[in-house]
Structure 1
């Protein structure tokens, strides 16, 4: 099942994608795709609906982030060995954890803001997952059961703010529009193996990233278990799992985004995003 939210920014309604790729409105069934709708029983009720009985939504309708009410965005750094190598870093033995402000979340095709003081705005295609049931100090081997579904994400990063402005990663990761999610939340049952998904990103039509979740160092199931030892994961929480090589900071010479650039990205089974970079 592919769940989504459609409509103007701040006025999104819940929906789903039917087998013909058409958007169907769910607002007559549930008020929104909130954390309360992400548990197994709630998802089963939605899966039992006949999409043909739901109202159609115009194809060109804006899509928002597919989950409302997210309280935490956690992210894993340097989680692909080849990406760590391109940045000159040593792959960490344990997951490197940082956070992004929830205000950085936006829709899958919304514009990407280029702040006035930004000099090194970079891209990162990432597999994200959304927690469906509370996870606290969970046992090994049980991590996937706590995931509601998977989502395409772009972990935009202002590298100067991230590395040179006397702060934690969160400073360079949290500006508005730096965490586009979607187009859909793809429920866990539709992704047979989250560690076997191709992923790509281009800038102005030129390929920058081409990789696979197969080269992830710390796998999805482990990340849920690991993170739950340090922080309680709640329904609606979003976890980003790292990026493959090809980021702007790793190019020789480095290349970063400018106003007018168009970034396009996708992950197998999770859809595509398109962003135009717009100067503030």
Structure 2
């Protein structure tokens, strides 16, 4: 079962995704007005049961960022061995992971445009797996980490590259431009460790493969990410962790190849689906 947030008939809904259209579920569960509320209540199983056998009632719709009211989005940077080497600074594999926050306003949904701002032509792509926390906790062990995941989704963690260099110790400015990235298309409930352990990320730009790697090669595996992050902050249901991107982003190609209007970026994860976005310039 897959769950998405979407707009249709002038309203915003969440529901089950089928090949024939959307099955709206928020009217059936008024106590959970958003998909985030359903996650906080541990309700994805109930949503799946309710959607079984129902006929889609929305066939004309647009995907939205899958959790537009996500309370906290934390991203792990430079988390594949070749990605660390791309920086060409001679550094060894880092002992601790790099982390930075992103905000929901920086993301749009599947098949919606990523926006290149007039301030910079350096819009770049980063294909990643994102996990959604379902059970909160502090100082979570690696052995228990997967028990705290409710669902998986895909992130194109779009970045304005020159703006991440505006200060010495942070990248926040380059990571939070409105609609510069996307999360979606849907949430897939997490039920089996193989959904992460066997996951493969492929990012294509206009059909050309730019990134291709497997999560099992991460320097800081997802179990470790949950353990480490929950050491200094209490994870809460609905928190999103964007787990890291492979080598091959546009900034690291020779010469660099940044995204331009008309480009199509697809991030495919074999255990989740495909997130697709067109690039547009910001309307003036």
Q: What is the TM-score normalised by the length of structure 1? A: 0.91
Write the distance in 2 (CA, Å) between the matches of 1:232 and 1:275.
33
Distance apart, 1:35 and its partner CA: 3.1
User: Which residue of 271, 276, 279 corresponds with 2:278?
Assistant: 276
Cα deviation digits, residues 19-52 of structure 1 (max 9, x gap): x564322132224434331157422222322422
Write the distance in 2 (CA, Å) between the matches of 1:97 and 1:149.
21
Write the distance in 2 (CA, Å) between the matches of 1:54 and 1:143.
36
Aligned twin of 1:16: 16
Cα deviation digits, residues 35-73 of structure 1 (max 9, x gap): 331157422222322422354320x52111222421111
2:69·2:104 contact (CA, 8 Å) conserved in 1?
no
Aligned twin of 2:27: 28
Partner SS, residue 49 of structure 1: helix
Aligned twin of 2:222: 220
Write the distance in 1 (CA, Å) between the matches of 2:82 and 2:11.
40
Distance apart, 1:186 and its partner CA: 0.6
User: Which residue of 110, 113, 120 corresponds with 1:111?
Assistant: 113
1:34·1:69 contact (CA, 8 Å) conserved in 2?
no
Long gaps (5+) in structure 1:
none
Aligned twin of 1:49: 50
Aligned twin of 1:66: 66
Write the distance in 2 (CA, Å) between the matches of 1:63 and 1:266.
17
1:75 aligns with 2:110: no
Write the distance in 2 (CA, Å) between the matches of 1:227 and 1:62.
33
Partner SS, residue 217 of structure 1: coil
Partner SS, residue 115 of structure 2: strand
Cα deviation digits, residues 173-220 of structure 1 (max 9, x gap): 101113311111111115624022121111122221112112111111
1:78·1:92 contact (CA, 8 Å) conserved in 2?
no
Cα deviation digits, residues 54-112 of structure 1 (max 9, x gap): 54320x52111222421111000110011111232533211111111221121122111
Aligned twin of 2:150: 148
With over 3 angstroms needed to count, the CA separation of the structure-2 counterparts of 1:41 and 1:252, relative to structure 1, is closer
User: Which residue of 249, 261, 265 corresponds with 1:263?
Assistant: 265
Aligned twin of 2:208: 206
Aligned twin of 2:122: 120
With over 3 angstroms needed to count, the CA separation of the structure-2 counterparts of 1:9 and 1:146, relative to structure 1, is farther
With over 3 angstroms needed to count, the CA separation of the structure-2 counterparts of 1:117 and 1:146, relative to structure 1, is same
1:243 aligns with 2:245: yes
Cα root mean square deviation, aligned: 2.2
Write the distance in 2 (CA, Å) between the matches of 1:143 and 1:191.
11
Aligned twin of 1:195: 197
Write the distance in 2 (CA, Å) between the matches of 1:246 and 1:277.
18
Q: What is the TM-score normalised by the length of structure 2? A: 0.90
Write the distance in 2 (CA, Å) between the matches of 1:65 and 1:10.
16
Write the distance in 1 (CA, Å) between the matches of 2:15 and 2:56.
9
